[in-house]
Structure formats: structure tokens, C-alpha cells
Chain A
Amino acid sequence: MKRPKMAKSHKREPGSSPNVRFEGTVHATRSIKGKDWANSLDVDRVPDSKGRIKAILSIDDCVRLLEEGFELRLHRAQKIGPLDRSLIVTDKAFKKWIDGQLSGMKDKPMPEPFAETRDT
């Protein structure tokens, strides 16, 4: 079964999945056999300081993992969308920053290199 192409369109059937992902941890229940289960979860893993199996989960991931018998603990919902515009440097701010950094530097001579590193 092909998954919906999340990247190109976040739209889903009305009333089905909202436009969110979850940050959560995945836990094995008694129905999960073997000790290597964490290696084949097929989730977007993120490191966890407590050593838990932490991931960013789509709604589809949650449904699948629950059906497979895992327990999920969801800590936070993330709205799917681009980086907030306020976090992107504007071209005006960029120009001000680079001009400030380089002011007075245009014709700055190169320092004398260590004598022996000069091309001779």
C-alpha cells in the first residue's frame, strides 16, 4: 500500500487525520516478540536522553504501530507546516549584518605570513 505523499500535500479527507504529527515514545507490549523490535519500527527516530525509543510520528505511524501491538505515549503534537516566517532572516536584516561585519575591511591588507610560508 502506498502512503499518501505528505510532502506535496498535507490535505487529507475531511474529518480524517488532522494536520499534525506527534512526538512520542514507543513501548513494546507483551505481544511483541524478540528484543530487536526497535530496529524495525520504521519511524522517524530522534535521540532520547533517557534511552527510550523516541520518534516523530505521523497519524499513519500511530495507527500502524498500535495495530502491530505497540503502546504509544504521545508527549506533544506538532502542526505540520513550514518554518515560522519570523525565524527566517530577511534580506534586509542579512545585508545589515554582513555590512556591519565587513565595515572597514574592504581594502584591508593581508598580514605578513610566517616568513617560510611565503611563496618564493
Chain B
Amino acid sequence: MYRTVSQLDSVMGILAAFFPDLCSRVELPNRSIQGRPIYALRMRAGGGGARRGVLLVGGMHARELMNPDAIVELMLDLALSYLNETGRSYGGASWSALDVKIMLETLDIWILPCANPDGREFVMQQVGGDRMWRQNRRDNPGTPCDGVDLNRNSDFVWGVTGPATSCNPCSSTRSYLGPTPFSEPESKNIEYLCDTHNIKVFADVHSFSEFVLYPWGHAPTQTTDSTKVFTGLATGTCAPLTPAGYKEYMTPRDFSRYRTVSQRVADRIRQVRGRNYVLKSVFEVYNGTTTGSCSDYVYSRHIANASRNKTYGFAFETGPNTGNDVLSFQPTDPEPIKRDAKAGLLALIQQSICAIDFIGTSLFGLSVESIRTIRDRMLANTEAGRGWINLFERVQFPLLGIVLSDRTLTKEAATLVRRVKTLTTQHKKAIVSKEDVDRGIAFLDELAKRTTDKKVKIDLSTVRRFLKGAGGQDVEKVIAKLGKSKPAPNKK
């Protein structure tokens, strides 16, 4: 069963009315083509100013009916779990009350569950409606054909065509890219949310095929030739991408992050009831060029304009390919697929937290820019360095729960972040003292004592071993060593 646009809006309105300290509903600046208001909901708990934002979007393609329902249900589930201080399970995938608390108190979670309300209404409209409608309801002037594909209308390599991207308003692809980039009010709302909020992670939820998708869509993704950047490509050509054989660059660090996070999302989805979501780039879906997609656009923003924050853009394709397209888009019982989707989105939200950012910036008002610079400019450039980044990213969520549950540990974590910040902003020859090492090790030992997760214990001992060897060395040497020697768990 599928909710109407007004019911989806109601869920957000009711959440905001019932729990004003937790949820705020905002009307986005651009109404739909047919004049419908379009709403987003922000969820956050606790105080603090600047936070990392996550944006979950659904319903961009009208006929993909399940996802708007799944997204509003997820928000309701999170609100109830937070307020009742209970965990949340979807099939075999579970999150504790503490997990939910951390997510809501560290992030701003934004949803735009029904990005294309006119399209959804048209799918459900009993007289003259069409359940296979995909685009918005733009009346394209000078043609008898309606609709623009909102997921081809973003300002990213816009106007370059492919198997499912067309310049013809009457195209049978149902993927007309519109007269100009962001010509459509519904897609402009995504740009608005990215411009006005600190969105670090974005997911655009589509159906079907059981994929977790990452950039790029216009061309195959490669990590070796950094001269191949989309800003140099011809756009608005209404022709296939040139030059032929072009492959778009992504930094090894971002590629690794995309693959790791996508894999964690897929692993969590598998826990629900065993469905196997496959990782792909957007290009690989049809083995051809897709331009103007929202998930590519949000990720491209920081490359097109260096003053913008980086946003990791993902897309999900929820639900299996049943071999019957109507039932794949609109299953008679969407409940199991919605549980898969909610688990995947929750996994993504969890992966969006940055412990150092949270403890340093949000809790103690420290700029952690120098630490971020080391991560992005030095460690990210080598395989070994990326191994250390991955290690940190995998242990941070389980450990953050332990740290935040104990005030003394929280303070100690902040002290250590402050010390690392001092060392990394000082002269490169600043020495990591024996006291620094002892203090770090005492902290790691305390965490190891409190965690029950064997894998986390192994990672902590790997860090411990490295730290032990760092005493008396200068910062430059320590960082160089991290970049050269992969984190190796003790074989014993």
C-alpha cells in the first residue's frame, strides 16, 4: 500500500507538531510545477550549532512509489526510538537506543521524501492517471508532451545524452533533461538544500534492481588520471559524451570511501532478510552515459567550485528485479523492501558521523581543520594511509557510543583531539612526547576494556602498537610512517 502526497506531508506535519524539539518541517522555496508545496523535514536532538547534514531524497521518479513511504516511516521510527529510548530493528538488522541517540544528537538529518509530488499524484490519479509516469508534470511548450526527468535536470554535464538521457521532450526514454540545467522547481529544491545546509552525505532513493550506486554516471570512474575532470567537458550538446572513451577521475580516497560505505550499507541490508544489494557506479546501470543526476551533481559541487563543501552522493535502487516491471516498481506488498531500504538508509546515516568533527567542533568548539588536512592531503594519497583512514572510520561509531556515555572519557577524547590539533598546527618538527604516547595508550586501553566487539579490540591494538613506536619522533615522521606502513593487525 502506498501513501498519497498529502498523507506523506501529514506525517512530516504531525512529527513537527508532536515533537517540535526533534523535528522541524520546512516548505522549500520552489513549489511544484502544478503549485503544490514541497516539504522537507529536519530531525535533530540535543543542542549545538553547526552539524554535519545528511539529506535523504525520495520520489524523484513518480512511479517508484515505495521510497517516499520508507523515508517518512524511517523518520517516525527514529523519533519514536529516540523518545522511548529503545533500539530499532528491521528484520535481522538492529540498532541500539544508544546508536539512535548518537545519530540524532550528532547530525542534522534532512529528508525530502516526495521530491516530485505532481508525478506521484498523477500515478495515483484514478481518471487519466498513469502508473508508469516517471517525470514531473511540466507542460513542455511547443510540444504535445509533458514532463522533465528531475534526475537528468541537475547542473552536472547537463545536456549530454545517453541511453536514458534525452534532449527530446517527446522522447520515449521518459528522461527528458529539460530546457536548461535546474529549469525545474522540484530539482532546484535539491540545489537549495545543498546551498543552504551543511550536507555531507546525500542519498537519492530510487527503484528497482537492488543496487547501491555511487558516481560517476556520465562516464566510467577511474582513479589514476587526475587530468580527466568533467569541468572540461562540452555540455548542452544534445549529443553523446565526447571525447569517446572518456573516463572521469575520482580521488583514490573518495573511491575507497564510496566503496567502503556502500559495502557497509549493503551488509546491513543483507542482515534484514538476506537480500544482496550490488555496488555499482551510476554509469554501470545501463553501461552508458547518464547526465544531470542528483547524486552526481551533489558530489560534483566541490569539484566545480572549491569553496563548497564536499558532499558524498549515493543513490539506491530499492527492490528486486522481479521480471515484471509493474510489480518491480509497485509491488503489491512493499513492506519487506521498505525494511531493506530503511536499514540501508540507517546504515548510511551512521556512516555519516565523524567522531573527530563531533567531539572537536560540535562539543568543544575546536577547529579540526589541521587534522582534516592531514587526512585529506597526506594520508589519503597512499594505500597505507587510506588503510589507516578506513580503520578509523570503521571503529569510530562503536567507540563514539562508549566515549559519549562517559563524561570523563568524552573530556579525555577532547583533550587528545586538542593535543593532536596543537601538534599538527605547530611546526612539522613538533615532537610527540612520551606523555602524549602514554596518555593516548591509556585512552585506547580504556576503550578496549569497555568494548565487547572483538574486531574493534583488534583495531585498537593495531593503533596502540603504532602509537607506542611514535614517542620521541617529530610529527612529520609519524605522518610519513602512517602513509608508508599499512595498519597490520597483530598476528598472534
> Contact residues of A with B, CB < 8 Å?
2-10, 21, 23, 36, 38-49, 56-58, 60-61, 75-76, 78, 80-85, 87-89, 91, 93-94, 98, 101-102, 105-106, 108, 110-111, 113-120
Contact A114:B76 (CB < 8 A) given known A4-B144, A45-B163? no
In the complex, whether B83 has a CB less than 8 A from a CB of chain A is yes
Chain B residues positioned under 8 Å from A87 (CB to CB): 1-2, 330, 332
Interface string of B195-226 (1 = CB under 8 A from A): 00000000000001101000000000000000
| Residue numbers in A under 8 Å from B364 (CB-CB) | 116
13 residue pairs from A and B, CB less than 8 Å apart: A2-B145, A9-B128, A40-B240, A46-B325, A46-B328, A47-B211, A61-B172, A76-B324, A85-B126, A88-B4, A105-B80, A115-B407, A120-B47
How far apart sit A98 and B321, CA to CA, in the bound complex (Å)? 31
Question: Is B47 a contact of A118 with CB atoms below 8 Å?
Answer: yes
Most chain B C-beta atoms within 10 Å of own C-beta, residue among A47, A113, A114 = A114
Q: Point out the residues of chain B lying under 8 angstroms from A84, CB to CB.
A: 131
User: How many pairs, one residue from A and one from B, have CB atoms within 8 Å of each other in the complex?
Assistant: 180
Task: Return the chain B residue nearest A65 by Cβ.
Answer: B172
* A116, B128: Cα distance in complex, Å: 56
Given contacts A2-B143, A83-B2, contact A98 B124 (CB under 8 A): no
- Among B7-15, B30-38, B472-480, the stretch in contact with A: B7-15
Identify the B interface with A (CB < 8 A): 1-4, 7, 10-11, 14, 18-19, 21-22, 45-48, 65, 76, 80, 82-85, 101, 105-106, 122-134, 143-147, 162-164, 166, 168, 170-174, 208-209, 211, 240, 285-289, 317, 321, 323-326, 328, 330, 332, 362-364, 404-405, 407, 410
Q: Which of A2, A39, A83, A91 contacts B170 (CB 8 A)?
A: A2
- Shortest CB-to-CB span from A73 to chain B, Å, is 13
Are A114's CB and B325's CB within 8 A?
A: no
Given A49-B321, A82-B130, A105-B80, A88 and B1 touching (CB < 8 A)? yes
Selected from B22, B163, B324, B330, the residue in CB contact (under 8 A) with A39 is B163
